[in-house]
Amino acid sequence: QQQVKQSPQSLIVQKGGISIINCAYENTAFDYFPWYQQFPGKGPALLIAIRPDVSEKKEGRFTISFNKSAKQFSLHIMDSQPGDSATYFCAASRPRGGSNYKLTFGKGTLLTVNP
């Protein structure tokens, strides 16, 4: 059972455009939703994260939108740049006090931003 579903698998955007990656989750116990960015040959690195008590979080050109009732969250990259070309993973984890405080990852989206 895939607990975090991510789409699309790949995305091509022109420089200056908006990149949108979507994720849906099933487990309502999840309460932390990070996005990781991975460049070729490197490990994933935390990009931005949100908790379900807010509907949106913005850090520079990166914004997470969160819809608790629909169990969906998305990453928006404004003014996309070629340097944003990478693989993006959404993830979710259960409350920190629980025994299952582990990240469950989506399958990833390969973003290519053309100059």
Q: Which two tokens stand for residue 9?
A: 């698998």
**87-102: burial string, b at 16+ Cβ within 10 Å, e else:** bbbbbbbbeeeeeeee
Using CB under 8 A, pick the residue from 12, 15, 18, 42 that binds another protein.
42
Which of residues 13, 19, 44, 75 is near another protein by CB under 8 A?
Answer: 44
In the complex, least distance from residue 6 CB atom to another protein, rounded to whole angstroms:
8
The residue among 20 and 105 lying less far from another protein, judged by its C-beta, is 105
At 78, list the tokens.
Answer: 């404004």
Tokens of 80: 């996309």
Cβ-based neighbours of 114, under 8 Å, separated by 6 or more: 12, 13, 14, 15, 82
56-59 vs 109-114, strand pairing mode: unpaired
According to CB under 8 A, which one of 13, 19, 21, 34 is a site residue for another protein?
Answer: 34
Q: Going residue by residue from 59 to 88, which x/- string records binding to another protein, judged by CB under 8 A?
A: ------------------------------
* Minimum distance of another protein from residue 16's CB (angstroms): 29
**Which residues contact another protein (rule: CB under 8 A)?**
6, 9, 32, 34, 41-46, 49, 89, 93, 96-97, 101-103, 105-108
